[in-house]
A and B are shown apart, each in its own frame.
Chain A
């Protein structure tokens, strides 16, 4: 680096920007910086490319245009050293989005880096590809990523797995190439690989029925055993979250089991035991435990019917609904919306609590409860529900009235027994909203 350089350092620029008292002053500082960076770029000043790009990223975050720096990212990525590539890829992900043509120019550099001998450079390239790749890039680079699913270091395998998710979402035709390599990821020990492998497996099942059949046959029992092992494992500090072993892995396993069990009675039967165990044994005084329990209830609702488990799940939701923690009440309402297709009677039992939630002080809970009220409305209860809601309309917050009145109108329209009642209710709503 040139010791006689006179430009500002990144740190000094940030300080100068923070010292600005007005927006105009800030614009001035940034205009000056951008001019200096442009000048440096046009001189093709190799030594300061790194610093220029870092500054541009900061300027970009403040919301100023920085498109003139995009080509700098490509130059840095194409340079041989790790530090240049690291900042270059970061800039690429930050300054560009997948809609820009510049992105096509980087495909070749990424391809080279995916084959690099330094595994950290391979990691950088995988990360960038996973975050911003377009359909064309996915097609071009898919073979490289498939190969990296078997790389010697697990930290590259896990990145390649997530990259594969992006690729198959962009180009679903490529899904079949990933079937077998993904199955072998599910047998690993490394939790990072397991988490990403299970996720990839779920995405594959979502995209192709062929994949779904394949994993249902080959992997269901292995996954059930894995969940059992994790749920019963003794304390491992590395994966422990408030006393629970790797909740992230447990949640992903539950999600995948839901996909595999749905529409298949045998597979569903196979997972009943472990679901019952998770639903009854998990510690729920911390968020991590509740997150798992919530996912488990979703899986019980999602797989084929087992009445004992369903009752257990509905009871858990009832417990959630009366919890003092707003987050728990919110997710309970959310899950009841899904449960309504499964067991609408059970949801009806909570009608009073749900109506109380419509009047909550928390806007998110109100909104969720309101949607649920609409779903539990039927011929027999619509009139009383409508009355409750119209009464509440009078005292509700101004910003909530729009949602509330729209909801009442939908309900009145759907369930009106006669025209007089319909007109009466509509007039009531109008008079409440208009005054």
Chain B
């Protein structure tokens, strides 16, 4: 039936209580969304306060270098998300815009050398600012590793996570000063160094051996 064709494609649920939009899958993989803005009249319009849902670092070959999830996704969903997004992003040409739309969300990505930095945000969020957050993260990594490259992030992946944790919490930005982030990371690194030295000191080894 012809008339049922377009209707079956309007499958977006607007959930005003939580301010989220859900795209309901209906057999087809990609469901078109048309937000009916007449629903959101000025009285009932809820302000969706946005957040970053996850951060991904993918190499040009599609290898995952870092993942951070701020919204609940099961392990299975995570694998699926990574597969789908790397398929979409790695195939995009160089001069196109840095945004892809995906399941009612937006993924902002930027390529630095062999790495793609991706952040998933809500429809209404500021894409240009997210690009700026990605760059903020990259500059801090660069400062920490001294001209960062993919190998640094492979062998010191935990350091990259520590840095990210000083920049984002709960999918929100926590610090706009690169200097402060670097200082906090350095202070924590030196705490670890001090503990290591103590553990490796000769008296400690003797104490362990004679225990």
Q: Which residues from 334 to 378 on chain A have a C-beta closer than 8 Å to any C-beta of chain B?
A: 334, 337-338, 340-341, 361-365, 367-368, 371, 374-375
Scan B89-131; emit 1 where CB is below 8 A from any A CB, else 0: 0001101111111000000000000000000000010111101
Q: Is the interface of A mostly helix, strand, loop or mixed?
A: helix
Q: Which of A35-43, A215-223, A286-294, A309-317 binds B?
A: A286-294
The reply to whether B49 and A206 form a contact with Cβ atoms under 8 Å apart is yes
What separation, in Å, do the CA atoms of A420 and B72 have in the docked complex?
50
Query: Known: A58-B157, A61-B64, A192-B177. Contact between A166 and B132, CB under 8 A?
Result: no
Query: Which of B6, B45, B133, B170 contacts A166, CB < 8 Å?
Result: B170
A48 at the interface (CB under 8 A from B): no
Scan B176-196; emit 1 where CB is below 8 A from any A CB, else 0: 111110001001100110011
Query: Which of A87, A97, A298 contacts B73, CB < 8 Å?
Result: A97
What separation, in Å, do the CA atoms of A98 and B75 have in the docked complex?
11
Chain A residues near B149: list those with CB within 8 A: none
In the complex, the chain A residue whose C-beta lies closest to that of B75 is A97
In the complex, the chain B residue whose C-beta lies closest to that of A10 is B155
B172 at the interface (CB under 8 A from A): yes
What separation, in Å, do the CA atoms of A298 and B50 have in the docked complex?
14
In the complex, the chain A residue whose C-beta lies closest to that of B64 is A61
The reply to whether B132 and A248 form a contact with Cβ atoms under 8 Å apart is yes
The reply to whether A191 and B158 form a contact with Cβ atoms under 8 Å apart is no
The reply to whether A120 and B191 form a contact with Cβ atoms under 8 Å apart is yes
What separation, in Å, do the CA atoms of A338 and B37 have in the docked complex?
8
Query: Which of A130, A249, A409 contacts B170, CB < 8 Å?
Result: A130
The reply to whether B32 and A327 form a contact with Cβ atoms under 8 Å apart is no
Scan A185-219; emit 1 where CB is below 8 A from any B CB, else 0: 00000011001100100110110000000000000
What separation, in Å, do the CA atoms of A252 and B49 have in the docked complex?
11
The reply to whether B64 and A62 form a contact with Cβ atoms under 8 Å apart is yes
Q: Which residues from 40 to 86 on chain B have a C-beta closer than 8 Å to any C-beta of chain A?
A: 40, 42-43, 45-49, 64-70, 72-75, 79
A272 at the interface (CB under 8 A from B): no
Q: How many of chain A's residues touch chain B, expressed as a range?
A: 35 or more
The reply to whether B98 and A127 form a contact with Cβ atoms under 8 Å apart is no
A392 at the interface (CB under 8 A from B): no
Q: How many of chain B's residues touch chain A, expressed as a range?
A: 35 or more
Chain A residues near B127: list those with CB within 8 A: 327, 330-331, 334
Chain A residues near B75: list those with CB within 8 A: 65, 97
The reply to whether A196 and B6 form a contact with Cβ atoms under 8 Å apart is no
Scan B15-57; emit 1 where CB is below 8 A from any A CB, else 0: 0000100000000001011110100101101111100000000
A111 at the interface (CB under 8 A from B): no
Scan A284-325; emit 1 where CB is below 8 A from any B CB, else 0: 000110110011001000100000000000000000000000
In the complex, the chain B residue whose C-beta lies closest to that of A410 is B6
B5 at the interface (CB under 8 A from A): yes
The reply to whether A63 and B34 form a contact with Cβ atoms under 8 Å apart is no
Chain B residues near A203: list those with CB within 8 A: 49
A90 at the interface (CB under 8 A from B): yes
The reply to whether A14 and B188 form a contact with Cβ atoms under 8 Å apart is no
Scan A67-98; emit 1 where CB is below 8 A from any B CB, else 0: 00000000000000111001100100110011
Residues of B whose CB lies within 8 Å of any CB of A are 2-3, 5-7, 9-10, 19, 30, 32-35, 37, 40, 42-43, 45-49, 64-70, 72-75, 79, 92-93, 95-101, 124, 126-129, 131-133, 135-136, 154-155, 157-158, 161-162, 165, 169-170, 172-180, 184, 187-188, 191-192, 195-196, 199-200, 205, 208
Closest 7 CB pairs of A and B: A291-B128, A326-B97, A130-B169, A162-B169, A409-B6, A410-B6, A130-B170
Known: A163-B169, A247-B129. 11 other contacts (CB 8 A): A3-B205, A65-B75, A120-B187, A248-B133, A287-B132, A291-B131, A362-B96, A406-B5, A406-B9, A407-B32, A410-B6
Complex A-B: 29 CB contacts under 8 Å: A1-B200, A57-B158, A61-B66, A63-B79, A82-B191, A83-B191, A98-B72, A99-B72, A123-B184, A126-B169, A131-B68, A155-B184, A163-B170, A191-B177, A192-B174, A205-B47, A246-B176, A248-B173, A251-B126, A262-B47, A327-B127, A337-B35, A338-B37, A361-B96, A402-B30, A406-B6, A406-B9, A410-B6, A410-B10
